[in-house]
Amino acid sequence: MTIAARKIRLIMQLRRAGINDTDVLSAIERIPREAFVPESFLDQAYEDLALPIGQGQTLSQPQVVATMTQALRADRRLKVLEIGTGSGYQAAVLAQLCRRLYTIERHRELLSVAEERFARLRLHNITCRAGDGSKGWPEQAPFSRIIVTAAAQELPAPLLDQLAPGGILIAPIGRPGAMQELVRMSRRDTGFTEESLGQVRFVPLVEGPTSVGGARKTAIEAAVDAQRTGS
């Protein structure tokens, strides 16, 4: 099956899963997911799977990316903050839908590769920073939308503080290694309202100094390797 056919199959799967925002589907269709996966996983680029990208991090499965993007309700007028650049795939999708995207990644190696991908795809409305995502980006606040692609047991206060009135924040909440709750927080004049969007599983949001050097292979990566080798 060709890459084009696999992409069409994935878009149809997303439609059946309840992704009905045509702008979101078009953005996913335009972005080449194969440009964001390691070479050894190219044959799985358009499967609805999470894939390892190194540094103990993963590229989220397309349905999760689509669900979070649709729930964010971004549009071309808005400024968006992403916590956890990772491979850059979620950022690339969002860049099709917003005016300006600011993205933070604690692993400098991953961020460097993601920036190269953005340049190749001519995504010029993305601004990147290496740092602790739990602190947000106060110099650019407030943000109309914030998306967090790593799980915390509770939302860091700086992120809530940096959400503009009328803004929306999407994040997974829960313990590392367990199923987490994907929540949508909306900021109203009277405070925040919270809505559950279902269960997900994300790598943990780690606060504190950014890491240096490589990370040990995660259980997810090991499982994928075992699957590929048949062990």
How many whole angstroms separate alpha carbon 11 and alpha carbon 6?
A: 9
Which of 40, 60, 186, 196 is the catalytic position? Answer: 60
Q: What is the DSSP code (8-state) at residue 45?
A: T
Phi and psi at residue 193, to the nearest 5°: -115, 150
**What spatial distance separates the first Cα and last Cα of the chain, rounded to whole Å?**
26
Q: Is 191 left (phi over 0), alpha (psi -120 to 50) or beta?
A: left
How many whole angstroms separate alpha carbon 96 and alpha carbon 122?
A: 11
Q: Where are the alpha helices (DSSP H) in 73-218?
A: 89-95, 108-120, 157-161
Angle at alpha carbon of residue 149, lines to 37 and 183, rounded to 5°: 140
Identify each DSSP E strand in the chain by its residue range.
51-54, 57-59, 79-83, 100-105, 126-130, 143-148, 163-173, 180-188, 191-200
60 part of the active site: yes
Which residues are known to be catalytic? Answer: 60
